[in-house]
């Protein structure tokens, strides 16, 4: 018995969750290794952060597999959507060959000379890949396209689209070790506080804690937290966001928004 696109997508998300556990385990091993980084002083006395190891290669491969499963889950969902043929049109010959979820990173153009569509991009633009879908399905799919701006699920799909292109056409994802420095302090008036500064790359100067006015510190403890990020800016700045957290947010958007909406559309065409 053939598994439906909806069930297939859910199985893929379950596989992604397993991969994220693998990534988290590898990152914990990296972070807990005391030989991950060192703080050294240069000739003028400034402290610099030096990483002694890079991101584990296994993480680069697993990240590519996670991105593939996200993209494939989208394709399986729209395949079932078109296959259900809610508008009862004669489906084009070999429609299966062209059927895939559109991930348009830029607003499509039309005409001669070509100019970008005014949003929303019309139903007709999606007909070749998604013939016969309902108006409700079109509205949802168009509304989460990566070319849209502002907050929303489209930001997640922009990240997935760009990462998918990198892994498929260029190279393994480049993951960089970075660190945050934390200053836990006790002030002269007894108040405790924590200051954190992140995004420290290899060779970065370690930020110095700055005193606050007339309330000097009487005790201070400095610590570092290592993490990894993507090398390239994708969407809204994931080159500064922990890799595992970024992928977890993507998974949550699928579980909380994309899957439930497709479930509703498929059950109420």
Of 26-35, 153-162, 165-174, the range with the highest mean pLDDT is 153-162
Query: Domain ranges in the chain?
Result: 5-40+57-172+233-267
pLDDT digits (tens, 9 = 90+) for 37-71: 899 998 888 999 999 888 788 888 898 899 999 99
Mean residue pLDDT of the chain comes to: 88
Q: What is the mean pLDDT of residues 244-258?
A: 94
Rg (CA), the chain: 24
Burial (Cβ within 10 Å: 0-12, 13-18, ≥19) of residue 36: middle
Using CA of residue 220, residue 226, residue 229, residue 231, what is the dihedral sign?
A: positive
Helices and strands, counts by H and E, the chain = 7, 7
Q: How far, rounded to the nearest angstrom, does the alpha carbon of residue 206 sit from its chain's CA centroid?
A: 28
Q: Kindly report the pTM of this predicted structure.
A: 0.84
Going by C-beta distance under 8 Å and a sequence separation of 6 or more, which residues neighbour residue 127? none
Query: Torsion over CA of 12, 14, 18 and 21, rounded to 10 degrees?
Result: 120
Which residue is listed with tokens 């992604």?
16
pLDDT digits (tens, 9 = 90+) for 3-24: 899 999 999 999 999 999 999 9
pLDDT digits (tens, 9 = 90+) for 64-123: 899 999 999 999 999 999 999 989 999 999 999 999 999 999 999 999 999 999 999 999
pLDDT band at 234, cuts 50/70/90?
Answer: low
Spatial distance between the Cα atoms of 193 and 177, rounded to a whole number of angstroms: 27
Could you give the 3-state DSSP secondary structure of residue 56? Answer: coil
pLDDT digits (tens, 9 = 90+) for 206-223: 998 887 777 788 888 999
Q: What percent of the chain has pLDDT over 90?
A: 53
Angle, helices 243-253/5-32, rounded to nearest 10 degrees: 160
Spatial distance between the Cα atoms of 150 and 177, rounded to a whole number of angstroms: 29
Residue 237: pLDDT above 70?
A: no
Spatial distance between the Cα atoms of 259 and 112, rounded to a whole number of angstroms: 38
Give strand pairing partners of 176. Answer: 229
pLDDT band at 255, cuts 50/70/90?
Answer: very high
Q: What percent of the chain has pLDDT over 70?
A: 92
Could you give the 3-state DSSP secondary structure of residue 184? Answer: strand
Spatial distance between the Cα atoms of 248 and 233, rounded to a whole number of angstroms: 17
Q: What is the mean pLDDT of residues 151-174?
A: 79
Residue 235, pLDDT score: 46
Q: How far, rounded to the nearest angstrom, does the alpha carbon of residue 122 sit from its chain's CA centroid?
A: 27
Which residue is listed with tokens 């991105």?
67
């Amino acid at each position: 018995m053939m598994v439906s696109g909806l069930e297939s997508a859910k199985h893929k998300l379950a596989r992604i969750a397993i991969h994220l556990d693998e990534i988290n385990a590898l990152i914990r091993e990296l972070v807990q290794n005391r030989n991950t980084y060192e703080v050294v002083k240069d000739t003028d006395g400034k402290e610099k952060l030096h990483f002694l190891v890079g991101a584990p290669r296994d993480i680069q491969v697993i990240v590519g597999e996670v991105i593939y499963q996200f993209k494939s889950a989208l394709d399986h969902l729209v395949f079932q959507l078109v296959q259900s043929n809610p508008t009862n049109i004669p489906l084009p010959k070999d429609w299966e060959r062209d059927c895939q979820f559109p991930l348009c990173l830029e607003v499509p153009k039309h005409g001669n000379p070509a100019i970008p569509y005014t949003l929303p991009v019309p139903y007709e633009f999606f007909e070749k890949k998604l013939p016969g879908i309902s108006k409700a399905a079109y509205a949802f799919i168009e509304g989460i396209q990566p070319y849209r701006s502002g907050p929303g699920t489209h930001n997640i799909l922009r990240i997935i689209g760009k990462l998918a292109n990198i892994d498929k056409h260029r190279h393994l994802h480049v993951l960089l070790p970075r660190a945050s420095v934390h200053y836990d302090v006790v002030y002269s008036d007894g108040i405790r506080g924590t200051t954190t500064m992140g995004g420290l790359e290899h060779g970065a100067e370690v930020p110095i804690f700055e005193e606050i006015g007339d309330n000097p510190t009487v005790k201070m403890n400095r610590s570092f937290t290592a993490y990894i990020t993507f090398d390239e800016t994708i969407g809204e700045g994931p080159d500064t966001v922990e890799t595992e957290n970024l992928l977890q947010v993507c998974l949550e958007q699928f579980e909380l928004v994309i899957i439930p909406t497709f479930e509703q559309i498929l059950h109420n065409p």
